[in-house]
Chain A
């Protein structure tokens, strides 16, 4: 069964090829249905393999499928190999599962778009790349997927490229990711030059066995973390993600919330032994970056008015939580939060897409309000997502966030406070969003006046095909916590399931104060979540105090502006200086060689007179000289 793992990426690739060739002929909505089949088929394959692995003993749940030898140059041997182990199958399960749901949703959402089939082509290509990323057995196969999802992300962000802001956002995402990819590439070079292999098993065994020097391990871990910062939108490279919301909403849900942005967390988990073998400050840096990002993004989300931008900053913040967990050596908690976050963030994005769809492409929350009666299913499912992300028990987000905070507390109490603050803000800004969109006064009347042509504008509920994924994801957001309930070892399914992959690198918290008092910490987390919700209700419903939305937060701490100014000022000057060196010194050397050749050729070319008779004379003279030379030699 496991040998059929290659089918999982093969289906979306086939789907993409079919879309490419026949997409336009299939049209709207048939191409969408066909494209939805691809991730669904992959999902079935992955579920079958998951069941197969479950039936085996824990230490035999690791299968490498060698498809073919990809590169064999000198001592560099890279197999096109994919691996079925608990980590990759967990990732593949939710990538294909949520991917299929979002394909289904997109059939309705993209209805009537002139580039309908091309959208599904990109989506299928994305699923293929993402599966290569998570299933890859070595860094290069993962990197193939890594670049593939980056390219798909670029294509889909700028899908409506006639809009200038979309085109710019696409480029921004691509360039920010390039900065991170540079780190991944250097890490690969380093791994190959020190270990002679790129395969995860080789690298991780070396890290376990102690043949990997701590310096090298630290360098590899931090360089890969740079890549993770780019892909998973952490400080200092987070700024592309909010702009990525220019893409169609299914894309925001699939790529920029549920799957692609978690690739960084996945990569860190994949190389967990390397992190464990590196100096102590490496995981510390990761945890601090994650914590700072979580808080930083949460403060910005408080003051955003675009329905999708709030969710985008929320995603950045949640990814920060995941990196906090990774840096604290709590890989299971990171994966747990990743999975539940995929559920509820996909749900929230699809819900916001449903709202945008019903509001005729209005994204400003100040023009919404009181939509709960007009869009009952959307609002109900959105409320489930809200409670999940805010961390209210017993929704999925509560269990996963609590698990993360528990490990962070055991590792570093200052970070725990930062995490709590971020969690408080999360509950606050999500409540604010829910109130602005679904409750309070309706502001969409102003909207209709502005558009005029619509006449009496009334927001409408979305078609059923968009509501089915919402309901399914809402169900998962409620029940997702069951994956890992922290009561007894028996209820911690994810812990047992992932143990073969991360057990040796996981930092144990057994016997710490945190674990002994985990119910107290749970209570604290619940109180914090409820406090955040209560505060938002007090501000936005009861209007006890005026909303605190300073301009500095609305402008994202002027981070974007600062980056732009630094790049446009000293940055451009530095690049100009480098360009000068290139033009005058490197190019100068090349041009100098060329000029030298040209000058010497100018002298020697005079010999070519072009007169046939001169040539004949020279040939004759040469012959005479040769004869004379032979004659002289025979005499002496």
Chain B
């Protein structure tokens, strides 16, 4: 039996992250539930994190992983702000639909 050892190459990770990023983008554009849109944004952020780690490892540089930490911290802060805004909106209105929140229409 020949064991075929599939050695994942960096390209696989990059393709995966591109795929994740595309899902995230698509989700933000088509979904109307702010919570789901929020999750999609997180997905996009993590897709980018993956590329950072991959390329950092490939180039033998530590900065790829360092940046990921920054992104995680900023994302956590963003979640706090974003979720509290969403909760505040939920308290004031019956349902939450991103398209209903068009008060800033010019």
Contacts and interface: CB of A to CB of B under 8 A. Distances in A.
A616 B99 CA distance: 12
A598 interface: no
B102 A616 contact: no
A200 B21 CA distance: 80
Interface string B10-45: 000000000000000100111010000100000000
B104 interface: yes
Given A620-B25, A620-B29, A613 B99 contact: yes
A605 B105 CA distance: 8
B89 to A, nearest CB: 12
Given A616-B28, A620-B25, A610 B106 contact: yes
Contacts of B103: 610
A607 B29 contact: no
Contacts of A620: 25, 29
A279 to B, nearest CB: 66
B106 A611 contact: no
A612 interface: yes
B77 interface: no
A606 B105 CA distance: 8
B66 to A, nearest CB: 24
Contacts of B102: 609-611
Query: Most A CB atoms within 10 A — which of B99, B101, B105, B106?
Result: B106
A608 B29 contact: no
Given A605-B106, A607-B106, A612 B101 contact: yes
A613 B105 contact: no
B16 to A, nearest CB: 19
Contacts of B37: 612-613
A452 B89 CA distance: 80
Interface string A324-367: 00000000000000000000000000000000000000000000
A617 interface: yes
A611 B29 contact: no
B87 interface: no
A133 to B, nearest CB: 59
B79 to A, nearest CB: 17
A616 B32 CA distance: 12
Contacts of A611: 98-99, 102
Contact of B104 (A606, A608, A613, A616): A608
Interface in A585-626: 605-613, 616-617, 620
A310 to B, nearest CB: 74
A321 B37 CA distance: 92
Contact of A608 (B30, B99, B106): B106
Interface string B74-103: 000000000000000000000000110111
Contacts of A613: 28-30, 32, 37, 98-99
Contacts of A608: 104-106
A624 to B, nearest CB: 10
B51 to A, nearest CB: 14
A607 B103 CA distance: 14
Contacts of B106: 605-610
B17 to A, nearest CB: 15
Given A611-B98, A612-B37, A617 B105 contact: no
Contact of A616 (B29, B101, B105): B29
Contacts of B30: 613
Query: Most B CB atoms within 10 A — which of A606, A607, A610?
Result: A610
B98 to A, nearest CB: 5
A237 B32 CA distance: 78
Nearest to A612: B98
Contacts of A612: 37, 98-99, 101
Nearest to A623: B25
Contacts of A606: 106
Contacts of A616: 28-29
A609 B105 CA distance: 5
A443 to B, nearest CB: 82
A617 B98 contact: no
A406 to B, nearest CB: 84
B101 to A, nearest CB: 7
B105 A610 contact: yes
A605 B104 CA distance: 11
A620 B28 CA distance: 10
A580 B29 CA distance: 56
A201 B53 CA distance: 80
A616 B25 CA distance: 9
A617 B29 contact: yes
A603 to B, nearest CB: 11
A620 to B, nearest CB: 6
A535 to B, nearest CB: 87
Interface string A142-177: 000000000000000000000000000000000000
A620 B101 CA distance: 20
Nearest to A602: B106
A608 B104 CA distance: 8
A609 B101 CA distance: 11
Contacts of A609: 102, 105-106
Nearest to B41: A616
B39 to A, nearest CB: 14
Contacts of A605: 106
B44 to A, nearest CB: 10
Contacts of B98: 611-613
Nearest to B30: A613
Nearest to B31: A613
Contacts of B99: 611-613
Interface string A521-538: 000000000000000000
A543 to B, nearest CB: 91
Given A613-B99, A620-B25, 5 more contacts: A606-B106, A608-B105, A611-B102, A612-B101, A616-B28
10 contacts: A608-B105, A608-B106, A609-B102, A610-B105, A611-B102, A612-B101, A613-B30, A616-B28, A616-B29, A617-B29
Interface of A: 605-613, 616-617, 620
